[in-house]
Chains A and B, each alone.
Chain A
């Protein structure tokens, strides 16, 4: 049977991808950010999964304003890194476990989570930056060490799905994975955040106290964390901080007893507070 072994949450700031793609991660600005992922990369090498179910948001790349699905599940055979206005990132094509993806799509819909199914989709930095952070540098001719099922969540146009909805979706993803016959090691990634505001006169907002409290709650009291209302993210963690609802999908997919094995928090990466957790199912 397929099983969920671990969950990872991390920010997906585009400038992190640029720093890796241009080889400047050792510079004083970036080093403290990347130092927190040294242990993560070792852990990934020791625990490389067969498949990552990766929850991220598309930044008006695959979806412009003409079509805004709340949950879009990638079921294509592969996903090309997208041109986001400055050419695609020089990273490998993302390959899907198509049979598991279709199984999850079917299971979620019957479980009353109405997915949009994507049989063609390019993926942007929201998906590729977390892979780069966790696996290190991989060039275009290389391959990612495992397969990836993308789940794109709308967080651009208000309202994003609630934390509660995301948490319950995570539970449904776990049910779907656990009902799949093949013996697979599956990890769930929840990406985005932490506090940041990219727009208008309050841009640059960072709230480390709130972020750290969120990390603690997510690990130790996930149900309470899933009840945080949108207005609290928007006010306390910045208008773009609402991305953190996606972390609840990861947390919901893991057992309540999941154990924290690594944490990292750093300010800033460009406009954003970088937060990162690794949780293992025990």
Chain B
């Protein structure tokens, strides 16, 4: 089935296919929104990660705090933001990391009006497939 929303560069639309793939990763992340989950993860990170039946690639992305990799493996930013918050990273800091710009440069871009839509509508404009 053709998905018209797939032709947007630098973007994952979190649809039912991605939700299915990322389910256990996302459920792990969201569990850190509660103190009980944060305490369990702090007490024994590997045991807590192992209690969620996600793929080894997904676990490694969590260990590496590789935020883009998590999205590539079915994660959604509203979920991964809870893991980021656990590591003391807020939404803007997380965006700085995902764009590769870093916190300061990203913040400056936003203060200057954000990322323009020009040149950012279609994958062909980014040289992506």
* Contact across chains for B9 and A201 when beta carbons are under 8 A apart: yes
- B62 proximal to A (CB < 8 A): no
**A209: which B residues are within 8 A, CB to CB?**
117
- A199 proximal to B (CB < 8 A): yes
- B77 proximal to A (CB < 8 A): yes
In the complex, the number of residue pairs spanning A and B with C-beta atoms less than 8 Å apart equals 145
* Contact across chains for A198 and B16 when beta carbons are under 8 A apart: no
Given A205-B117, A208-B113: A83 and B33 interface contact (C-beta under 8 Å): yes
For A163-184 the 0/1 string (1 means CB < 8 A from B) is 0000000000000000000000
Q: How many chain-A residues does the 8 Å CB contact rule pick out?
A: 43
* Contact across chains for B117 and A199 when beta carbons are under 8 A apart: no
- A114 proximal to B (CB < 8 A): no
* Contact across chains for A157 and B19 when beta carbons are under 8 A apart: yes
**B10: which A residues are within 8 A, CB to CB?**
200-203
Given A85-B86, A156-B76, A202-B8: A14 and B91 interface contact (C-beta under 8 Å): yes
* Contact across chains for A204 and B99 when beta carbons are under 8 A apart: yes
Given A64-B26, A156-B76, A200-B98: A86 and B85 interface contact (C-beta under 8 Å): yes
Shortest CB-to-CB span from A55 to chain B, Å, is 18
Shortest CB-to-CB span from A244 to chain B, Å, is 15
- B65 proximal to A (CB < 8 A): no
Q: Which residue of B lies closest to A238 (CB)?
A: B11
How many B residues are at the interface, by size bracket?
Answer: 35 or more
- A144 proximal to B (CB < 8 A): no
- B12 proximal to A (CB < 8 A): yes
- A31 proximal to B (CB < 8 A): no
* Contact across chains for B113 and A270 when beta carbons are under 8 A apart: no
Checking A86, A157, A205 against B115 with a beta-carbon cut-off of 8 angstroms, the contacting residue is: A205
* Contact across chains for A64 and B30 when beta carbons are under 8 A apart: yes
* Contact across chains for A236 and B5 when beta carbons are under 8 A apart: no
* Contact across chains for B68 and A236 when beta carbons are under 8 A apart: no
Checking A59, A202, A270 against B11 with a beta-carbon cut-off of 8 angstroms, the contacting residue is: A202
Q: Which residue of B lies closest to A57 (CB)?
A: B78
Tell me the complex Cα distance, A85–B79, Å.
11
**B121: which A residues are within 8 A, CB to CB?**
235-236
Given A199-B77, A205-B120: A158 and B14 interface contact (C-beta under 8 Å): yes
Shortest CB-to-CB span from A15 to chain B, Å, is 7
Q: Which residue of A lies closest to B12 (CB)?
A: A200
Query: 23 pairs across A/B with beta carbons < 8 Å?
Result: A65-B79, A83-B35, A85-B33, A85-B81, A156-B78, A158-B5, A158-B15, A158-B16, A199-B11, A199-B71, A199-B95, A200-B12, A201-B11, A201-B98, A201-B99, A202-B11, A203-B99, A205-B114, A234-B11, A239-B12, A271-B92, A271-B95, A273-B114
With A201-B9, A268-B113 known, 4 other A-B pairs at CB within 8 A are A60-B26, A85-B32, A156-B14, A231-B5
Residues of chain A whose beta carbon lies under 8 Å from any beta carbon of chain B: 14-15, 29, 59-61, 64-66, 83-86, 156-159, 195, 197-210, 230-231, 234-236, 239, 267-268, 270-271, 273
